[in-house]
Amino acid sequence: MLLADLINDGLRLKGNKTRYWLANVTGVSIAALYDVTNGKRKSLTLPAMVKVAIALDLDLNELKKIDWED
C-alpha cells in the first residue's frame, strides 16, 4: 500500500472529504498533500503522517503497512 492510497481511501471513507479539508485540519501544506496523492512524492514527515492518520480516523498501525520501497 502506498501513502497516496491510504490518504485517498481515508478521504473517501471520511465522507468524500477533500485534500483542502485535510490540509486545514492537519496543518500539512496542501501542496505536500497534492504531491503525495498525485505520486510526485512518496512520504511526509512522521509528525505530518500522524496528523493525517488521526484526522482520517485511521489506526496508526496502518502506517506500518505503507510500502516505503520503490
State the pTM of this model.
Answer: 0.88
- The three cell numbers locating residue 34: 497534492
Q: 37 φ, ψ to 5°?
A: -75, -20
- Mean pLDDT calculated for residue range 34-53: 93
Please name the residues in contact with 61: beta carbons below 8 A apart, sequence gap of 6 or more: none
Place 67 in a pLDDT band, splitting at 50, 70 and 90: confident
Query: What average pLDDT does the structure give for the chain?
Result: 91
Select the CATH number that applies to the domain covering 3-65 from these four: 3.30.428.10, 3.40.50.2300, 1.10.10.10, 1.10.260.40.
1.10.260.40
Q: 17 φ, ψ to 5°?
A: -70, 160
Tens digit of pLDDT for each residue in 15-28?
999 999 999 999 99
pLDDT for the residue 24: 97
Tell me the domain boundaries of the chain. Answer: 3-65
